[in-house]
Structure 1
Amino acid sequence: MSANKTNKRLSDIPFSVLDLSPIVAGGSPAESFRNTLVLAQHAEKWGYNRYWLAEHHNMPFIASSATSVVISHVAAGTSTIRVGSGGIMLPNHSPLVIAEQFGTLETLFPGRIDLGLGRAPGTDQRTARALRRDGRNDGQDFPEQLDELRAYFDPSLASGTMHVKAIPGEGLTIPIWLLGSSGFSAQLAGQLGLPFAYASHFSPGNTVPAMELYRRSFKPSKVLEKPYAMVGVNVIAADTDEEANRLGTTLQQQFLNLIRGNEVQLQPPVDSMDSLWSEYEKQALEQQLGSSIFGSPGTVKEKLQSFLNDTQADEIMVIAQVFDHEARLRSYEIVADIIKP
């Protein structure tokens, strides 16, 4: 371990939940939203710090496309856990609309709302054009959009006079996070002194370099005095390694179907993936899901500690794409037990 790393223990940092509100084979969005609320209520009881939902579109296995609405659903059904977006894909929207939506959420649920922002479309290019209409916004103006959005909350950040106000929104303090799977948002978050969340759950290879870039780029701001970095990781826990590995085949099938362009609802687990993927696909998935942790409580604890040692994360956000709702709840419960002091 290098000299600039500290020996953080799992109990030293907060753990949080990222939920895609998955639609399982044979299920429905209505069922997904019910399950999301139940998971959020359990996460709150088990001591998780925040509960984030992600914006994706035209994906048959994800129900959280209207992310702000689902955040409201979760916040209304819980009382203390922070609720937010992981993330809102800002290039899909007018910054004013997002300011108003999250101003409304913060007004309804004061002190509990997070606004995590990404610059990817969260979908395919055809759907991105349907969302953005003019087709010109490819995320390159994300820094300018971000400046505009932040100024709606805090007009002192505006470069000129603000003639348009976000109501509700103006004057509210809503934590803004930048999300990323590359160095772009890591560096921008550092330069602006904002918290940063890295998507190791689908882009593990660049995790440590992005974290280091964020910390190197960091400039203190009125938001943060020092860097604060969260990392998302797939964790599927069960009572035995064998059962966890079996449950994990649902996630592997999800990514296999994405690679093949065969987007379907979340599939039930299988005993073995060997008959489903080619050797090339297996290697590609092992690379894309390389940081994923499947296992029994002992295995998960050991691998999570190793992950924390490598990333030096200030917070870890757990993603568990598990087909069976009860098994998904059990996975998060096991993690909560592992991280207790």
Structure 2
Amino acid sequence: MIPLSVLDLAPIPAGGTAPSALRATLDLARRAEELGYRRYWLAEHHLAPGVASSAPQILIAAVAAATSRIRVGSGAVQTGHWTPLAIVEQFGTLDALYPGRVDLGLGRSGQRRAEAARRAEAARRSDAPPPPPARAAEVVDGLLIPAPFDVARLATSPAFGLHGALLQQPGAESPDFADVVDDIAALLDGSYRTPEGHEAHPTPGEHADVELWILGSSGGQSAQVAGERGLPFAANYHVSPSNVLEAVEAYRAAFKPSATLDEPYVVVSADVVVAPTDDEACVLASPYPLWVHSIRSRLAAIPFPTPEDAAARHWPPEDWDLVADRVDTQFAGSPSTVVSGLETLQRVTGADELLITTITHDHADRVRSYALLAEAWGRG
């Protein structure tokens, strides 16, 4: 069986607090190490009352200090909010403190925001051409590939402009993602030079023993950059399930062997909830649609609701349309049910590793989910 890893957002449950969520992350990281998970990644989310992972670089240090063997890292640094030098110095410091255990995952955030804004503006113009017909959902060798969600819809949210204003300096524009990755790689390996011949040597940072990763949600630039530079690639089935196959195919098609990898290495993420029975898992997962709806309607994850909150929610069709692709591709069930689903995901995508993200209202249920999955996966 291929390795399993953890992606954590430090979720805040309804009635909980950010400090308690961060303590729960440290507890889960210790348990994940004991259970044999390969790596523990922290996401970067901002202005979300239900997510405490807004400063993952700091949280990575805390997780590394609370553990001793498991790899720790970012899933992913939103490169539109940081300069390459800042990223290299931050992760160089982490590597200096916890050598040989740090993963630097990079995401294409600022560029995607600008592209979504342009698409939304084009759609508002009276002379804009009609959008192409949406691709229908399909099942590929047992794996559901849902109809795509149009992320340009998020650009119409009032929070969209506020996020951009607060996360970047006034007038700042995100550079091309390929240039960002190249600058980070050059600062890490000591080869950074400007066209005029000036050098830069970050300390800590230069020659840091960090693993450089690219995360992506489509077959676009992220997959292309990862492949062309011979870097490992993480495809987001849990965020953008409709695009996972094109993402891994584009990465493999673009791959060129490098000093890092001789052949492609793909991680695929999945939303998972495991409980002793299918019925119990479905109850624990029932607040998930409410949580996803808050992200896609207001760009701000709410504190994760209780199953009782979920049971009281009436779902108009237009609200369900916002969340259906992610809810339908969540793996919730007994250990055998979830293992079967994850085996299908691995087989269809050819993943070399699976990245598991689990959110439940009660921390004990989340820890149990990871434990049940690790045990069942090991038996497989």
Match of 2:86 among 97, 111, 121: 97
Secondary structure of the corresponding residue to residue 232 of structure 1 = strand
Correspondence for 1:179: 215
1:125 to partner: Cα distance: 3.3
How far does the alpha carbon of each residue in 1:88-139 deviate from its partner, in whole angstroms, 9 at most, with x for none?
00110111111111000001001100000001159833122222113432x4
Gapped regions of structure 2 (runs ≥ 5): 114-158
The one of 331, 335, 338 equivalent to 2:373 is 335
Query: Which of 68-77 and 290-299 deviates more?
Result: 290-299
CA distance in 1, matches of 2:14, 2:321: 26
Deviates more, 1:166-175 or 1:117-126: 117-126
The CA deviation string for residues 215-254 of structure 1, in whole angstroms up to 9 with x for no partner, is: 0110011111100010110010001111111111222110
Letter in 2 for 1:190: G
1:76 maps onto 2:113 in alignment? no
Change beyond 3 A, Cα 1:286–1:171: same
TM score, norm. by length of structure 1:
0.92
Aligned partner of 1:124 among 156, 160, 167: 160
Residue pairs, 1:23-42, within 5 angstroms: 23-42=12-31
Match of 1:110 in 2: 99
Structure 1 partner of 2:304: 266
Matched residue, 2:155: none
Contact 2:287 2:309 in 1 (8 A): no
The residue identity in structure 1 corresponding to 2:227 is G
SS in 2 for 1:151: helix
Structure 1: runs of 5+ lacking an equivalent: 1-10
SS in structure 1 at match of 2:250: helix
Identity %: 41
- Check the 8 A contact 1:50/1:82 in 2, yes or no: yes
TM-score normalized with structure 2 length? 0.82
2: distance between equivalents of 1:126 and 1:272?
29
Q: Say which of 285, 288, 306 aligns to 1:248.
A: 285
Say which SS state the counterpart of residue 332 (structure 2) adopts: strand
Contact 2:192 2:200 in 1 (8 A): no
Change (3 A) 1:63 1:271: closer
Residues 128 and 135 of structure 1 are in contact (CA less than 8 Å); yes or no, is this contact kept in structure 2? no
Q: Deviations over 1:176-218 (max 9, x none)?
A: 1011111221111001111100111021001111111110110
Correspondence for 1:296 among 321, 328, 334? 334
Name the CA shift for 1:336/1:64 in 2 (closer, same or farther; >3 Å): same
Deviation string 1:68-102 (CA, Å, 9 cap, x unpaired) is 00000000000000000001001101111111110
* Count of equivalent residues: 329
- Structure 1 window deviating more from structure 2 (161-170 vs 111-120): it is 161-170
Q: 1:126 to 1:135 in 2, by over 3 A?
A: farther
Corresponding residue number in structure 2 for 1:145: 180
Q: Which residue does the alignment assign to 2:316?
A: 278
- For the 8 Å contact 1:301–1:338, the answer to whether it is kept is yes
